[in-house]
């Protein structure tokens, strides 16, 4: 939400006053105290790692290795490697805990 100066039409900036915040214009002497909350923060829901990698089907025919799960400390994990960056960067290794009660995903 943008606010514009009623005198000159330039965009108003938010400044901290000694007791509160205020809207002020850089071009003219217009100043207005903020009397109510004018914005809210909303954070998008992030996709789970499993959805990005292709879902349950992507983990059907993968190998397992000795890797400790950071959640349940199980000693084995399924793994797959994917090229997620440019070709001159190393591949990213994705892990999924072999403990079916845990199933935690992480990457290296």
Closest CA to 10 of 29, 21, 26: 26
Specify binding-site residues for Zn(2+): 5, 8, 25, 28, 69, 72, 97, 102
CA distance linking residue 51 with residue 79, whole number of Å: 15
| Cα-based torsion angle of the residue sequence 97, 99, 100, 104 in order, rounded to the nearest 10 degrees | -30
Architecture of domain 49-107: Single Sheet (2.20)
Specify binding-site residues: 5, 8, 25, 28, 69, 72, 97, 102
pLDDT given at position 50: 58
CATH of region 1-40, choose from 2.20.25.10, 3.40.50.970, 2.40.40.20, 2.130.10.10:
2.20.25.10
CA distance linking residue 94 with residue 56, whole number of Å: 14
pTM: 0.49
With tokens 């809207």, the residue in question is 23
Instruction: Give the H/E segment covering residue 99.
Output: none
pLDDT in tens, the chain (108 residues): 568 999 999 999 988 877 788 889 999 999 888 877 766 788 888 766 656 667 777 777 888 899 999 999 999 999 988 888 888 989 889 899 988 898 888 888
């Amino acid at each position: 939400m943008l606010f514009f100066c009623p005198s000159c039409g330039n965009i108003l900036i938010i400044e901290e006053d000694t007791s509160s915040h205020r809207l002020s214009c850089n071009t003219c002497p217009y100043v207005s105290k903020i009397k109510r909350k004018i914005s809210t923060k909303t954070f998008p829901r992030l996709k789970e790692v499993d959805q990005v990698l292709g879902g349950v089907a992507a983990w059907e025919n993968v190998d397992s290795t000795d890797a400790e799960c950071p959640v349940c400390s199980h000693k084995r994990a399924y793994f797959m490697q994917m090229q997620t960056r440019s070709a001159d960067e190393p591949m990213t290794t994705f892990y999924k805990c072999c403990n079916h009660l845990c199933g935690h995903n992480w990457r290296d």
